[in-house]
Amino acid sequence: MAGIGFQLEACQMSTRRSTDPVQGDAAEHLDVARRMIDHAVDDIRGSVWALRCAAVHGQSLIGAIESLVTRVGAGHRAQIRLHTTGQPFDLPDFVTGNLLLIVQEAVFNALRHGDPNSVEVNVSFDAEAAAVEISIHDDGAGFAMGEQRGPEEGHFGLQGMRERAERLGGRLTVESNPGVGTAVCCRVRCRDYDPEISTDDEVTVVAETEDQRIAAR
Q: Which amino acid is at 174?
A: V
DSSP E strand stretches across the chain: 79-85, 118-126, 131-138, 171-177, 181-189
Identify the pLDDT of residue 53: 46
- List the domain boundaries for the chain: 2-46, 59-196
- Indicate the SS3 state at residue 190: coil
pLDDT band at 31 (very low <50, low <70, confident <90, very high): confident
Beta bridge mates, 79: 118
pLDDT band at 51 (very low <50, low <70, confident <90, very high): low
Indicate whether 10 pLDDT > 80: no
Indicate whether 203 pLDDT > 50: no
What length does the chain have? 217
Identify the pLDDT of residue 128: 93
Indicate whether 16 pLDDT > 90: no
In sign, the C-alpha dihedral spanning 202, 206, 212, 215 is negative
Identify the pLDDT of residue 190: 87
Identify the pLDDT of residue 83: 97
pLDDT band at 65 (very low <50, low <70, confident <90, very high): very high
Identify the pLDDT of residue 41: 75
Which range among 24-28, 101-105, 197-201 shows the weakest confidence by mean pLDDT?
197-201
Highest mean pLDDT among 5-19, 61-75, 136-150: 61-75
Identify the pLDDT of residue 46: 64
pLDDT > 90: what percent of the chain?
A: 34
Fold designation for 59-196:
Heat Shock Protein 90 (3.30.565)
SS3 annotation, 109-157: HHHHHHCCCEEEEEEEEECCCCEEEEEEEECCCCCCCCCCCCHHHCCCH
Phi first, then psi: give them for residue 184, nearest 5 degrees: -115, 130
The pLDDT tens digits of the residues spanning 107-165 come to 988 988 889 999 999 999 999 999 999 999 999 999 887 666 655 555 557 888 998 89
What's the mean pLDDT when you consider all of the chain?
Answer: 78
Identify the pLDDT of residue 59: 83
Residues 119, 110 contacting (CB under 8 angstroms): yes
Residues 132, 165 contacting (CB under 8 angstroms): no
pLDDT band at 211 (very low <50, low <70, confident <90, very high): very low
